[in-house]
Amino acid sequence: MSTDPRPSADDPRAPLGLTVVLAHLDVSDAEDVLRSLAGRLLDAGAVTVDFPEALQARERTYPTGLPTPIPTAIPHADPQHVVVPGLVLATLARPVPFGEMGAKEGTVDARLVVMPLLTDAREHLAALQRLMGLLRNEAAVAELLEVEQDDELRERAAVLLAEALPDPAGGGAGGGDPTGSDSGREDTDRGAADCGTTDCQEPDSSPGAGA
C-alpha cells in the first residue's frame, strides 16, 4: 500500500494529492471496498473517525458507479469528515458491482475506484472535471489496471492525472475529449459533480435526450 496524506506541492495546478493508492485490491463487494479504503485513510490520519460510516451511508443513498468506458466508482463523504484533502485510487482484482449513479436499480461492475477527499465543497467541480478527464480515457485506465505494484500505480496515476488537467486557456493536450464529443463530456462532468453536491443524478444519456 502506498499512502501519503499530504497534497502534492510539486504541481500548483493539482487540487488533490494521491493519499492512498492500491493496486489490485482483492475485495468481495462494494461495502468491503469502502471499508478497506476507509480503514487505510484512518491509519493515514486523513479522515475523521466518523468517515467510514458516513462513506457507507452516502454510497447507499447516492450510489456512485459510473458507466465510463471502463466502469469506475467515485465514492466519497461530505467535507466535514475529511481532515486532509487528497485522492484515493484503487484498482480492483476483479470487477465489483456498485450502484449506478442516478439509477434506481442498476449497477456497474467497477474495475477502478477513485475517491476524492475534499474539505471545501467549492473544490468539488474542479476535482471532478479533472478526474473525468482521466476516466473517459479508456487506454489510460486500462494502463492503470495492468499495474501490479502500489508505488508504480501511484507514479502512473500522477502522470495521467496531470495530463488530464484541462488547459486554463481551454486548449492543450489535456483539454480535449478523446471521443470528440464536447457536449457529452460536459454532461458527464456535470453529473459527476452533482454527485458531490446534491443527489448524484446522472444526466440522461439515452438516445434523444435533450432533444
Share of the chain above pLDDT 90, in %: 57
Determine contact, residues 42/55, Cβ cutoff 8 Å.
Answer: no
Decide if 94 is inside a domain: yes
Which residues, 6+ apart, have CB-to-CB distance to 57 below 8 Å? none
Task: Name the pTM for this structure.
Answer: 0.75
pLDDT band at 11 (very low <50, low <70, confident <90, very high): very low
In a domain, 154, yes or no: yes
Cell triple for 153: 500505480
Give residues with Cβ within 8 angstroms of 127, minimum separation 6: 15, 16, 87, 116, 118
> Is position 40 within any domain?
yes
CATH code for the domain of 23: 3.40.930.10
Angle between helices 124-135 and 138-146 (to 10 degrees): 80
Structural domains in the chain (count):
1
Evaluate whether residue 205 is within a structural domain: no
Is 157 inside any structural domain?
yes
